Amino acid sequence: MTSSNPAAPASEHLLDRALAVTPGGVNSPVRAFRAVGGTPRFIREAHGAWLTDVDGRTYVDLIGSWGPMILGHAHPQVMAAVQDAATRGFSFGTPSENEVLLAEEIVSRVEPVEQVRLVSSGTEATMSAVRLARGATGRSKIVKFAGCYHGHVDALLAHAGSGVATFALPDSAGVPASAAGETIVLPYNDVPALEAAFAEHGDEIAALITEASPGNMGVVPPQPGFTEAMRTLTARHGALLISDEVMTGFRCSRAGWLGYEGIPESGAPDLFTFGKVMGGGFPAAAFGGRADLMSQLAPLGPVYQAGTLAGNPIATAAGLATLQGCTPQVYSQLLATAQRIAGAAHEALDAAGVPHVIQWASSMFSVFFTENSRVLNYDDARSQDLPAFAAFFHAMLDAGVHLPPSAFESWFVSAAHDDEAIEHIIAALPAAASAAAQARDRMTR
């Protein structure tokens, strides 16, 4: 039995049952509240900006399913598209029109992407992009950055120590050294480290994979010139640049981070990965790039890749309706909403004397509970005061605001966050900031 939580008896009961039949009671580790303690809320339904748990309590949602729910939950147009698609069957195992429509929408938004292959998760997208890069270059090494998450692909789970060109140790049990040994892990935003790695291994490196703007160590955008440096170095050494836009894609702008930051002067990335927003809450993801590279894939080329449910008609209908709903007006609204919430968080934490810094990638932002004035890489991100975050998180949850249950995440707003939802968040912040301040006092006493 878990400890008794009078605020969430029905969630607690479900958690007990889940713990018996599911490892840790969850189907994705971050849902388990391990980082903040307590009982994860089992959500019964969600509409607009609000979640309702199995105890009937409501929360303003700042997780947004970790990114996909950019229009809000159960959005009427997406709902209609899903219901309409479902009446015509669930999966055909043949080509279908929705796949073409979704691919056309993506290609029309992200200029350097001429072709995409649809898959069912971001993990599949990065795994397939890495395979394609290795197949196209005939090389095997991959460079990634500490703190960047690219799904649970063996070769990409490694993040090892910071510093110059470290050969990675597996970060997860079950990843053979042979898989991780082809991965070079570097500190983010560190051009000299990048130059050193390419100087030493340049002709063995198939690809550099990076989050377009990292959001999985909290929001740590590339410093001016860093994207450019990645592009220049990879091109000089014949390696591909894979921009992982699974989180940023179609969120930071209609063309993702690329549309927000602009195409590097030295050229666009070679391959892109997408997920989250483009599935509208259903399992749909993609990888894509120039047609000459994409034509290396089966059935045209020698790089094998496939999926029984890839391009599923319901998932693609949801994704297409979501992207169609992501108008310029939606993007400016997301920015304004994020600025109001982050501004209020900053004021409340300042008033309570809690050191923090807020970092941005368009409307994605995160609040780092750190004394550093900025967070440039994973080591900086790990300097956070985690007990202070946990206290802040639980005070917000008690007040009916559901933040991501980890200090290393972006807060995700949606187009459904109206004044009522925003004001509910703002009203909860001062008490949460005080709780964070008290947690700090307890730690330092």
Ligand X SMILES: *Cc1c(COP(=O)(O)O)cnc(C)c1O
DSSP string, 187-243: -TT-HHHHHHHHHHHGGGEEEEEEESS--BTB--PPPTTHHHHHHHHHHHTT-EEEE
Q: Which residue out of 61, 154, 190, 244 is catalytically annotated? A: 244
Q: Does 234 bind ligand X (CB under 6 A)?
A: no
Q: Does 123 bind ligand X (CB under 6 A)?
A: yes
Asked if 244 is an active-site residue, the reply is yes
Q: Does 275 bind ligand X (CB under 6 A)?
A: yes
| DSSP-assigned letter for residue 31 | G
Out of 96, 98, 121, 243, point to the residue binding ligand X (CB under 6 A). 121
Q: Which is nearer to ligand X, 270 or 385 (CB)?
A: 270
Which residues, in sequence order, are bridge partners of residue 288? 116, 272
Q: Does 150 bind ligand X (CB under 6 A)?
A: yes
Count of beta carbons in the 10 Å neighbourhood of residue 442: 11
Asked if 270 is an active-site residue, the reply is no
- Asked if 240 contacts 230 with a C-beta cutoff of 8 angstroms, the reply is no
Out of 25, 48, 122, 319, point to the residue binding ligand X (CB under 6 A). 122
Closest distance of CB 343 from ligand X, Å: 25
Closest distance of CB 360 from ligand X, Å: 17
Out of 116, 130, 230, 246, point to the residue binding ligand X (CB under 6 A). 246
Which residues, in sequence order, are bridge partners of residue 303? 297
Which of 7-15, 48-56, 149-157, 259-267 is the region at the interface with ligand X (rule: CB under 6 A)? Answer: 149-157
Q: Which is nearer to ligand X, 2 or 27 (CB)?
A: 27
Question: What is the rounded CA–CA span in Å between residue 80 and residue 180?
Answer: 44
Closest distance of CB 438 from ligand X, Å: 32
CA 192 centroid distance within chain: 27
Q: Which residue out of 276, 331, 380, 385 is catalytically annotated? A: 276
- Quote the tokens at residue 48: 């607009």
Q: Does 105 bind ligand X (CB under 6 A)?
A: no
Question: What is the rounded CA–CA span in Å between residue 165 and residue 162?
Answer: 8
Q: Does 41 bind ligand X (CB under 6 A)?
A: no
Residues in Cβ contact with 378 at an 8 Å cutoff, skipping those fewer than 6 apart: 145, 146, 147, 159, 162, 187, 188, 217
Asked if 149 is an active-site residue, the reply is yes
Out of 25, 48, 72, 151, point to the residue binding ligand X (CB under 6 A). 151
Q: Which is nearer to ligand X, 30 or 164 (CB)?
A: 30
Closest distance of CB 112 from ligand X, Å: 18
Residues in Cβ contact with 443 at an 8 Å cutoff, skipping those fewer than 6 apart: 385, 387, 388
- Asked if 407 contacts 397 with a C-beta cutoff of 8 angstroms, the reply is no
Q: Which residue out of 53, 59, 141, 149 is catalytically annotated? A: 149
Which of 37-45, 147-155, 199-207, 358-366 is the region at the interface with ligand X (rule: CB under 6 A)? Answer: 147-155
Q: Which is nearer to ligand X, 121 or 253 (CB)?
A: 121
Q: Does 247 bind ligand X (CB under 6 A)?
A: yes
Out of 211, 270, 380, 385, point to the residue binding ligand X (CB under 6 A). 211
Closest distance of CB 26 from ligand X, Å: 14
Nearest residue to ligand X, by Cβ distance, number only: 122
Q: Which is nearer to ligand X, 25 or 151 (CB)?
A: 151
Using CB under 6 A, count the residues that bind ligand X.
14
String of contacts with ligand X for each residue 278-307, x by CB under 6 A = -------x----------------------
Cα 249 to Cα 106, 279, 395: the distances in Å are: 10, 11, 31
Out of 11, 98, 115, 126, point to the residue binding ligand X (CB under 6 A). 126
Q: Does 139 bind ligand X (CB under 6 A)?
A: no
CA 73 centroid distance within chain: 18
Out of 128, 183, 216, 305, point to the residue binding ligand X (CB under 6 A). 216
| CA geometry: angle 436, 441, 445, nearest 5 deg | 155
Which of 78-86, 111-119, 145-153, 229-237 is the region at the interface with ligand X (rule: CB under 6 A)? Answer: 145-153
| DSSP-assigned letter for residue 377 | S
Residue 77 phi, psi dihedral angles, 5° rounding: -70, -35
Q: Which is nearer to ligand X, 8 or 246 (CB)?
A: 246
| DSSP-assigned letter for residue 278 | G
Question: What is the rounded CA–CA span in Å between residue 137 and residue 360?
Answer: 35
Q: Return the percent helix, strand and coil in the chain, to nearest 5.
A: 45, 15, 40
Residue 376 phi, psi dihedral angles, 5° rounding: -105, -20
* Residues marked as catalytic: 149, 244, 276
Give contact residues for ligand X (rule: CB under 6 A). 121-123, 126, 149-151, 211, 216, 244, 246-247, 275, 285
